[in-house]
Amino acid sequence: MAGVGFDGVWKEYDSDSVAVKDLTIQVESGEFVVLVGPSGCGKTTSLRMLAGLEEITEGTIEIDGVVVNNLPPKARGIGMVFQSYALYPHMSVEKNLSFGLRMQKGEGRLGKSEVDQRVSEAAELLGLTEYLDRLP
């Protein structure tokens, strides 16, 4: 897992519309972070900037100590998922939670027991344990 850093990151759409103002945070490898806030506070915009789907106005974004401001999304080695455990309604909640982990390729690929453990931890954290076998 990679560490991620935002240093003085801004996102302005125009002079009257600032989506992210001076975001500075360092997330170390292995840390679990949750972004919480009201609608429109910049949570999704920040994640889109990290993924390279949104250009930053000012500041620096690093992944594993490498500045990624000018790297295309595919070169960053990360991805985004929707804000729902039910991205695929034909799959169980467990399959939805594990999908991204199971699709990893190459060196970062996790074994079944590691995927199961991570899904279990996430389900417990989100209060979804009793729903793992159900369709969303």
Summarize pLDDT for 88-126 with one digit per residue, the tens.
788 898 998 888 888 877 777 889 999 999 899 888 877
Report which of residues 106 and 56 the model is more confident about.
56
Q: Does 45 share its domain with 91? A: no
Question: Based on the domain organization, do 65 and 85 belong to the same domain?
Answer: no
Q: pLDDT value at position 76? A: 86
| 88, 62: one domain | no
Predicted pLDDT at 61: 98
Same domain, 60 and 94: no
Q: Residues 134, 94: one domain?
A: yes
- Are 67 and 52 a contacting pair, CB within 8 Å? no
Round to whole Å and give the CA distance between 119 and 97: 6
Q: Which pLDDT score, from 0 to 100, does residue 81 have?
A: 58
> What is the average pLDDT score of the chain?
87
Q: Report the CATH number that the domain containing residue 26 is assigned in CATH.
A: 3.40.50.300
pLDDT at 80: 64
DSSP one-letter string for 118-132: HHHHHHHHHT-GGGT
Count how many domains the chain has: 2
* pTM for the model: 0.61
Structure confidence at residue 67 as a pLDDT band (50, 70, 90): very high
Does 61 share its domain with 104? no
Asked if 71 and 35 sit in the same domain, the reply is yes
Looking at the structure, tell me whether residues 33 and 19 fall in a common domain.
yes
Beta bridge partners of 25: 6
| C-alpha distances out from residue 128 to 10, 54, 83, 101, 124, Å | 35, 31, 14, 18, 6
Residue-level pLDDT at 31: 87
| Same domain? 92 vs 67 | no
Range of the domain at 103: 81-136
Instruction: Kindly give the pairing relationship between strand 58-63 and strand 66-67.
Output: antiparallel
